[in-house]
């Protein structure tokens, strides 16, 4: 597996993200604004269900006359409806110390390739994008993620050969599935 991305030995591995695409290991510096998100979905399905809702006119008259409601705290009870896969919003910094083609351009290309399918021209049966392994700062490790978004600014300094000397890439990855509570600790180096 070839290594592309910022290869600055003066930086701690705890400041870097390592993304294994299968063919290449992309190494980027974790930038400001990077985050990890876990979203648990809760809803109150009984919110509009009351005795008065079945007889809305009668319920409204009773409430208007007595000042009493047909709602209870049961109506507002939250019910868990699922958890989305973990989401990683990474801002990765790449810069060249010796070879801008490998340290910047190849890293961006590897991330875009990992997020892209390989479809056939006219027949179904192409390949979906591959999963990647994510290791952020040697602290957060997920063996199977999908890249859902890659964005790179187009401006910045360019070498004499036409290669970018630095790049900031905004990357969104998600675990392939929701993560169980029992598995969360395994993903941190504790």
Return the SS3 of 53. helix
Average pLDDT rounded to a whole number, residues 96-102: 93
- Average pLDDT of the residues in 36-57: 71
Q: What six digits make up the tokens of 85?
A: 């896969």
Q: Which of 189, 190, 187, 166 is nearest to 178 (CA)?
A: 187
Structure tokens at 78: 């939250």
Domain ranges, ordered by start, for the chain:
2-39+84-187, 41-81
With 80 as the cut, is the pLDDT of residue 163 above it? yes
Which two structure tokens, joined as six digits, stand for 43? Answer: 């809803």
Q: In this predicted structure, what is the pLDDT of residue 53?
A: 52
* pLDDT (average), residues 140-150: 93
For residue 16, name the pLDDT band (cuts at 50, 70, 90): very high
Count CB-CB contacts under 10 A for residue 93: 19
End-to-end CA distance of the chain: 28
Cα separation, 186 vs 190, whole angstroms:
8
SS3 57: helix
Contacts of 149 (CB under 8 A, 6+ apart): 115, 170, 171, 172
Q: Is the pLDDT of residue 52 over 50?
A: no
Q: pLDDT > 90: what percent of the chain? A: 58
Mean pLDDT of 121-147: 90
What pLDDT is stored for residue 50 in this prediction?
A: 53
The sign of the CA dihedral 147, 152, 158, 162 is positive
Query: Closest Cα partner for 167 from 111, 94, 82?
Result: 94
Q: Is the predicted pLDDT of residue 118 greater than 50, yes or no?
A: yes
10 Å CB burial of residue 183 (0-12, 13-18, 19+) is exposed
Q: Other C-beta atoms within 10 Å of 64: how many? A: 8
């Amino acid at each position: 597996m070839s290594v592309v991305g910022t290869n600055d030995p003066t930086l701690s591995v705890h400041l870097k993200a390592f993304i294994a695409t299968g063919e290449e290991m992309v190494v980027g510096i974790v930038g400001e604004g990077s985050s990890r998100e876990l979203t648990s979905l809760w809803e109150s399905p009984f919110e509009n269900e009351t005795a008065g809702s079945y007889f809305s006119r009668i319920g409204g008259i009773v409430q208007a006359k007595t000042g009493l409601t047909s709602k209870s705290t049961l109506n507002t009870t939250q019910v868990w409806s699922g958890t989305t896969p973990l989401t990683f919003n990474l801002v990765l910094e790449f810069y060249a110390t010796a070879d801008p083609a490998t340290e910047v351009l190849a890293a961006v290309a590897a991330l875009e390739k990992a997020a892209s399918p390989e479809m056939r021209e006219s027949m179904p049966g192409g390949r979906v994008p591959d999963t990647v392994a994510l290791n952020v700062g040697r602290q957060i490790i997920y063996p199977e993620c999908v890249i859902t978004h890659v964005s790179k600014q187009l401006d910045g300094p360019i070498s004499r050969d036409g290669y970018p000397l630095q790049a900031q890439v905004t990357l969104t990855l998600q675990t392939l599935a929701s993560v169980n509570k029992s598995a969360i600790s395994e993903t941190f180096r504790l």
